[in-house]
Structure 1
Amino acid sequence: MRPTRPTSLPTRCFRLARMGWHIAIGLVIVATRFPRLAYAERAVVTQRWSRQLLKILGITVEVAGDSPGFYPNNTLLVANHVSWLDIFVLNSATVSRFVAKQEIRRWPVAGWLVASAGTVFIDRNSRRDASRVNQHLARALENGGCMAVFPEATTSDGSVLLPFKPSLFESVRQSRGTVQPVALNYRTPHDTPCTAAAYAGDTTFMQSLRMILATPAIRVELRYGSRISADGANGSEPTRFQLAEAARDEIVRGLRITPARPDTAARTPADPPA
C-alpha cells in the first residue's frame, strides 16, 4: 500500500491556527463559566470542546462495545495510554476527571487549564501520595463522579500494553463502584496502526504535535470492555490487584493483542502501597 502523503504546509498552519484559537476559547470558558457550573454541566461543555478539537486535527472516533454513557455514576474509567490526545478522545464519548502526574500542574497555561477542569494530581515519586489520591478519588466516586486513570503510568506507541500499577484501583474498592475498561487504538483510514499520535519515549510535545498536524487523518477505535464490579456483591470483595488484572485483560481484548501477562500482584517501587 502506498504510504499516505503528509498534509501540505498551508494545511498544517491552518490546523495550528484553528487549534490555537480553540484553546484560547477553552481558557476563557474555564476562567468565566466553569466556576458557576456543576460537574454534570461542565461535562457537557468538556465533551463539546473535546469533539471540536479532534475535528480540527482530523481525528475521528469510532465507539465500540457497551458504552457506560455520557457521565456514568461511581465509575473508574481505565484506559491504555498512548498520547496526550487520549484525554480528549475519551472525553468525546465518556466525560471524566483525570489523574495526572504532579509535574503537569506546573506547566504554563496547560497546568492551570487542567487543574481548573478538576484534574487530580499525583506525585509519582512519593510512595505515600497514592493514599491521599485514593481518598480523593473515592470521595469523588461516592459523590457520583466519573474518574479516569491510566494504570500503565506512562505512554507507549500503542503496539504493546505495559503492566498496570494497581495502587489507584483501591479508590473504587473504597467507593464500592464500577471499573470500566476501555481500549484506545489509533489507526489510519486504511485500518493500519498509526503511530503519529504516540507521545512516548524521547518524543517532545512539539514533535508529537508536528506529526499529528502532518497526518491527513487519524481514526481512533474506542472499545469499551465489560464492566467490573468492585462492591463484592457476587462473593468475596476483589483486591486492587485482581481489579487491575481483570481490567487489563479487557483492554488486551479490545486492542486485539496478546502480550505476556505481567505480574500485577508484585509490589515494586513504582507501585506505592495504597
Structure 2
Amino acid sequence: MKSTDTTPIVARFGRVLRLLAHLAIGVFIVATRYSRLAQAERAVVTRRWAQQALKIMGAVVTVRGINPGFYPPNTLLVANHVSWLDIIALNSCTVSRFVAKREIRKWPLIGWLAYVAGTLFIDRGNRRDASRVNQILAEAMQNGGCMAVFPESTTSDGSGLLPFKASLFEAALLAGGTVQPVSLRYQRPDGSLLREAAYIDDISLLQSMRLVLSVPRIEIEICYGKPLKAGDAGLDNRFQLAEEARREVARGLGLQLEEAPAPQAAPAVETGA
C-alpha cells in the first residue's frame, strides 16, 4: 500500500478520539435507557449509531438489491463474514440481533454491549447447543424479530466464500420465516479488494482497528439477494436453505461457486457463529 493511500497520523489520531467518544455515547445509551426502549426504537437508535460510527471511520456504504427494511420481522439475515466491521455495516442498513460464539461474552466491554444489545451466544464446541439456539432464534423471529448469523462460522479475506454451516438455518424452518442473504464486500475507491478490513490471521482486535483506521476511505458494498421463504419447494430443509443462501451471497460478490478462489481463512479470528 502506498504512503499516499494512508491516513495522515494527525487525522488518524482524530478518528481514534472521535471513535472513542462515539463508543462512550453507545455505552451510556445501553447502560441507561436501551433496555427500556421498544424494539422498533432500539432499531432506530442502533442504526443511527452504526451509521455515525462508519462515518467516523471514513466508510461509505453502497446498497444493491432490495433492502427488506430497517428491522424486517420474522427474518433470518445471513451474510459472508470478513470483519468485526460486518455487524456495524449491516446494522447501518438492516438492524438485527446477532448470534456469536460464547467466548465473545467474556470480552471486556464488547461482550457486555453485545449481551445487552440482545446477542445470542452459542457454544460451538457443543453440537447440541445449536438446538437450544435454534429454539431461541425461532421464537424471536416469530415474535417479529430480525436475527442474523454468519454461516461461514469464521472470517475470511473476502476474496471467496467458505462453505455454509446449515445448523442454524433450522430456526427459519421452525419459525416459518424468511432467509435474507446479504453479501458484504470491502473495497477501495478503484474497486479493488480492501484486505485491511479482513479480521484474519493472528492479529488482535486492536491491530485490526489500527489497520482499518489507517485507510483514508473504505467503500462497503452491501448486496441484498433474493429472499428465501423457508419451507417452500426446494427450501424445505436446512441444507437446501443453506446452499441456496450461499449461492445468493456468491452472486452478490460476483463469484461463481465452482470457480471461486479459495479465501485466505486460516488461521482466522472467529467472531461469529
Per the normalisation by structure 2, the TM-score is: 0.92
Q: 1:260 corresponds to which residue?
A: 258
Q: State the SS of the aligned residue for 1:196.
A: helix
Listed as ranges, the matches of 1:198-217 within 5 Å are: 198-217=198-217
- CA separation of 1:237 and 1:65: change in aligned 2, threshold 3 A: closer
Give, in angstroms, the shift of residue 196 of structure 1. 1.2
Distance 1:133 1:194 in 2: 33
Distance 2:90 2:136 in 1: 21
Listed as ranges, the matches of 1:100-179 within 5 Å are: 100-179=100-179
Which amino acid in 2 is paired with 1:254?
A: G
Listed as ranges, the matches of 1:1-274 within 5 Å are: 4-232=4-232, 235=233, 238-260=236-258
| Structure 1: runs of 5 or more not aligned | 263-274
Which amino acid in 2 is paired with 1:258?
A: Q
Give, in angstroms, the shift of residue 2 of structure 1. 7.0
Query: Is contact 2:186-2:221 (8 Å) kept?
Result: yes
Which amino acid in 2 is paired with 1:182?
A: V
Q: State the SS of the aligned residue for 1:78.
A: strand
- CA separation of 1:236 and 1:78: change in aligned 2, threshold 3 A: closer
CA RMSD of aligned residues (A): 1.6
Among all aligned residue pairs of Structure 1 and Structure 2, give the percentage whose two residues are the same amino acid.
Answer: 58
Distance 1:107 1:96 in 2: 20
Count of residue pairs the alignment pairs up: 260
Distance 2:198 2:216 in 1: 15
Query: Is contact 1:105-1:115 (8 Å) kept?
Result: yes
Distance 1:261 1:99 in 2: 30
Which amino acid in 2 is paired with 1:13?
A: F
Give, in angstroms, the shift of residue 66 of structure 1. 1.4
Per the normalisation by structure 1, the TM-score is: 0.92
Q: 1:266 corresponds to which residue?
A: none
Query: Is contact 2:74-2:178 (8 Å) kept?
Result: yes
Q: State the SS of the aligned residue for 1:164.
A: coil
Query: Is contact 2:77-2:148 (8 Å) kept?
Result: yes
Which amino acid in 2 is paired with 1:169?
A: F
Give, in angstroms, the shift of residue 237 of structure 1. 5.7
Distance 1:236 1:146 in 2: 23
Query: Is contact 2:153-2:165 (8 Å) kept?
Result: yes
